[in-house]
Chain A
Amino acid sequence: MSNGNGAGNGKLRIATAWLGGCSGCHMSFLDLDEFLVDLAGMADLVFGPLTDTKAFPPDVDITLVEGAVTNEDNRELAFALRENTRVVVSFGDCAVTGNVTALRNLLGEPEPMLQRVYVEHPDLDGQLPSEVVPALLPMAEPLHELIPIDAYMPGCPPSAERIKTTITALAQALIDGEPVPKATEWLFPDEARFG
């Protein structure tokens, strides 16, 4: 739990992040209904679309990351949250597989897609967005292609029940000081020679 930088109130520090996704996973998170009250008793929500924090804070216990990595901004946030989080959860199908966000990969590089969306299809003044919005990466990729992930929560969106189960298990492990239930390791035993 928080050691120094946190609020020091003994509560877990939980964050959420919204990368290239539709925010449906966050909506499902809000569907937790009264469990949100229990959760608030056990943890502080320190970052995410539901708070007004600008920079990713240090010393976070659990971060739920929604969305695929699709632009420069996503990438920076992904690195930052990995840097500062104990348990990163790939939250929902876009983060886990790329899902709908990655459908643009079928068109290859981003340019043809941008051309189609912003130039060919608008009725008036089609032009490519260039300023203010972060540049797209060549491919929209699942989160684990970029940073190591500790747990996966598939679903489009994952049901509130599934979110509750996951958070409860992870939080309990952290509170008890147990090893976090990790995503299954699946290399063969004799392949552990990399150490």
Chain B
Amino acid sequence: MSRGNGRPSIPVTIDGQEAMAYEGETILDVATRIGVRIPRLCYLEGLSVWGGCRLCLVEVEDDPRYRLSCATPVVAEMAVTTTNWELHNHRRRIVEMLFAEGNHICAVCVSNGDCELQDLAAETDVDHIHYDLQHPDASVDASHPKYVLDRERCVLCTRCVRVCNEIEGAHVWDVGGRGSDSMIVAELSKPWGESPSCTWCGKCVLVCPTGALAFKGRAVGEMRHDPAVIDFLKTARDEGKWYERQEAR
């Protein structure tokens, strides 16, 4: 989010709602500010834009293609429609395929009930999966004394990769493999517990949208993430401001 100084000067319309935007704000920034919710998964306030989940695509008037709202700066007189029948179906299919890609068994997941993928399913009307479940044979890395990584629940949003690199500055995580074999790896594919650069800060766990990264010892449904902490830290770092924030639920 860009907290522009001065007055907002760019007139835009989002879902029929007129608003004034600051220079440099993205469509998603403005929509969030005026209370219009756009579905997204990989985007997180305070981190760089990744553009991988494609859920926040929106319709821009007179533009033949859908635009990524997290990465598209607003321009004057832009008219945005955040959802239409086709976009809704696109999002629904993508969410369904994310479910099909992993082993997302909510009933036995630490994050059941505190899961952005679950929330997205509800938001996009996913009540069952039309596609073949892939049942991948992904691995669990429980080598870290404090945290656990279950790749079967990973949606490859790379929030952990970015938070570790951009906020903590450790760059423990990265993506290994390609295509459907992609997976989050620590230290060029070492067990997490053997990582010499991991600082045990736990930010990756806080930002994970699903149950892929969790505190050890949490039973089913007990895990609570806290992705908003990152924007709090980023603001503190960049602007020297420590704003009031509520602890996670």
Hey, what's the 0/1 contact readout for A86-112 against B, CB within 8 Å counting as 1?
A: 000010010011111011011000000
Pick out which of these stretches binds chain A: B105-113, B142-150, B201-209: B105-113
Q: What separation, in Å, do the CA atoms of A154 and B104 have in the docked complex?
A: 13
Set A99, A102, A106, A142: member contacting B137, Cβ < 8 A: A106
Q: How far is the CB of B39 from chain A (nearest CB, A)?
A: 15
B86/A188 in contact, CB under 8 A: yes
> What is the total number of residues of chain A having a CB less than 8 Å from a CB of chain B?
21
Contacts of A183 in B (CB 8 A): 127-128
Interface of B, helix, strand, loop or mixed by DSSP: loop
A154/B128 in contact, CB under 8 A: yes
B135/A106 in contact, CB under 8 A: yes
Q: What separation, in Å, do the CA atoms of A152 and B121 have in the docked complex?
A: 13
Check: A156 CB closer than 8 A to any chain B CB: yes
Check: A194 CB closer than 8 A to any chain B CB: no
> What is the total number of residues of chain B having a CB less than 8 Å from a CB of chain A?
16
The 10 closest A-B pairs by CB, nearest first: A156-B107, A152-B127, A105-B135, A152-B128, A96-B128, A184-B125, A186-B89, A106-B135, A93-B107, A99-B107
Check: A39 CB closer than 8 A to any chain B CB: no
Q: Which residues of A contact B (CB under 8 A)?
A: 90, 93, 96-100, 102-103, 105-106, 142, 144, 149, 152, 154, 156, 183-184, 186, 188
Check: B129 CB closer than 8 A to any chain A CB: yes
Q: How far is the CB of B145 from chain A (nearest CB, A)?
A: 27
Q: How far is the CB of A181 from chain B (nearest CB, A)?
A: 12
A184/B127 in contact, CB under 8 A: yes
Contacts of A97 in B (CB 8 A): 99, 105, 128-129, 133
Q: How far is the CB of A182 from chain B (nearest CB, A)?
A: 11
Check: B92 CB closer than 8 A to any chain A CB: yes
